[in-house]
Amino acid sequence: MKKEWINKGVESCIRQAAREHRIAIHEMAVGFDHVHVFASIPFTMSPAEALGKMKGRSAYLIFRMFQGFRKRYPKGHFWAPGKFGRSVSNITSGTVKTYIENQQFEKLNETIEMIDDEPRQLNLTDFC
């Protein structure tokens, strides 16, 4: 999401979904195309199950909060199917929090824009 007020709404929906499933969020960063979450899950829940519950419920809440998203996502899939999860067993929780706090989404956006422009820059006909 490129607008800060949308990011705040998405974050709110993720936090509500986590509370409903007894998932404790320690740190979160919402970018324009991905989210980082540092969370503790109940022992009775697998990481895949926790992620599925959070993505499913938060998507429902997001569509309720932002009615116009139904037009943008007509099939009802807000989140991409991809995911990444990792245990923090061999690093400290402080390390994870610092990583998430220091996400530089603006620089990532600049990099993506540069990649999109690269084929045009490398066009050989421009050198003739």
Instruction: Write the pLDDT tens digit of every residue in 101-112.
Output: 776 555 544 544
Ramachandran category for residue 76: left, alpha or beta (phi over 0 → left; psi -120 to 50 → alpha): left
Measure the CA–CA gap between 85 and 67, rounded to whole angstroms: 30
Name the pTM for this structure: 0.70
Residue range(s) defining the domain that contains residue 117: 4-127
Calculate mean pLDDT across residues 49-54: 94
Q: What is the pLDDT of residues 10-26, one digit of tens each?
A: 999 999 999 999 999 99
Q: What is the distance between the alpha carbons of residues 53 and 51, in angstroms, rounded to a whole number?
A: 5
Phi, then psi, of 11 in degrees rounded to 5: -60, -45
- For the chain, strand residue ranges (E) read 24-30, 35-40
- Strand, helix or coil for residue 40: strand
Model confidence band, residue 45 (pLDDT cutoffs 50, 70, 90): very high
Give the CATH number for residue 29.
Answer: 3.30.70.1290
Number of domains in the chain: 1
